[in-house]
Structure 1
């Protein structure tokens, strides 16, 4: 049975607040970007699972699958389009104030798209009901958090992109370890 205290903690620490606090912890931004750029990990989903984890919860795989598809569609059609534009304009922005201003506007839009995606993840988790069990208590010991997070994001499938690339593999392993260590020691902002 789902622990109602854990669910209440989700409501007290919005996913966006968790994401901002966790992302600025030492090494987390670099780890997230490594996983995003090397393996195609959806950082918003990664943050969602981290948020659940620090609150002692996890998403049930069968309930998660349709939501994951919706969130991935949002990422592909909205966030990734904006990210691509922002990155494409980077060289031009160095030589043009107007392109630099445009790039900053796109960067803000990309951030807002990520925030919207996180809010949708949060609504999905909090709208959990007895007839629609989306979440379950996470009975996990902290020394397992790295494997747990990898499993939540289908790491075995994602890892195929690193085969034959030792330096990429090492960067990915370091990224997972950084994230797990930060999750294990995460303290919510006051």
Structure 2
């Protein structure tokens, strides 16, 4: 079991099929950093509550909107042109690195908040992923959520 959220996220994301599952969820409006945090909390047997879900969402929302999304948008806008422009390709890779660093910063912030919550509650019903999914979780790819959950158990 990975003690910190960043290591857990890297380990989980490296499992076969998880990257594709996370990209599908992201395309459907889910915050992958929140979902990785949710999988980590499930693994640590932290009791899910509406207040905790709300606290994580309130922390993640502005960072996603103001920091991560603008970087992601620039990286995506440059994808086509960067295939034919070596200098732009280099800049795009630097933006990609900044985007990853911004995600790491968000995971660090989420971990700091969740660090205060007790772990090891064997009676806790683990539904963090569904609670942290996009507002309209009914429209999310539940197979992708399950793939993330399964990979997280072996991270």
TM-score by length of 1: 0.72
Shift of residue 175, structure 1, vs aligned partner: 1.1
Aligned partner of 1:16 in structure 2 is 6
* 2:154 pairs with 1:186: yes
Shift of residue 14, structure 1, vs aligned partner: 0.7
Residues 156, 97 of structure 1: CA spacing in aligned structure 2 closer, same or farther, 3 A cutoff? closer
Is the CA contact 1:49–1:58 (under 8 Å) kept in the aligned structure 2? no
- The runs of at least 4 consecutive aligned structure 1 residues that moved more than 4 Å come to none
Is the CA contact 1:86–1:107 (under 8 Å) kept in the aligned structure 2? yes
Residues 91, 155 of structure 1: CA spacing in aligned structure 2 closer, same or farther, 3 A cutoff? closer
Aligned partner of 2:59 in structure 1 is 70
Is the CA contact 2:6–2:104 (under 8 Å) kept in the aligned structure 1? yes
Instruction: Compare CA radii of gyration and give the structure with the larger one.
Output: 1
The residue correspondences of 1:111-130 to structure 2 (distance < 5 A) are 111-126=100-115, 128=116
Residues 154, 14 of structure 1: CA spacing in aligned structure 2 closer, same or farther, 3 A cutoff? closer
CA distance in 1, matches of 2:62, 2:17: 28
Tell me the SS of whatever aligns to 1:26.
Answer: coil
Aligned partner of 2:145 in structure 1 is 176
Larger RCO of the pair (alpha carbons < 8 Å, separation 6+) = 2
Residues 74, 156 of structure 1: CA spacing in aligned structure 2 closer, same or farther, 3 A cutoff? closer
CA distance in 2, matches of 1:49, 1:151: 9
1:140-172 CA distances to partner (integer Å, 9 max, x unpaired)? 57xxx6xx2443225672334x7xxxxxxxxx2
The residue correspondences of 1:1-190 to structure 2 (distance < 5 A) are 13-37=3-27, 39-126=28-115, 128=116, 134=117, 137=121, 139=123, 148-154=127-133, 157-160=136-139, 172-183=141-152, 185-187=153-155
TM-score by length of 2: 0.87
CA distance in 2, matches of 1:118, 1:88: 25
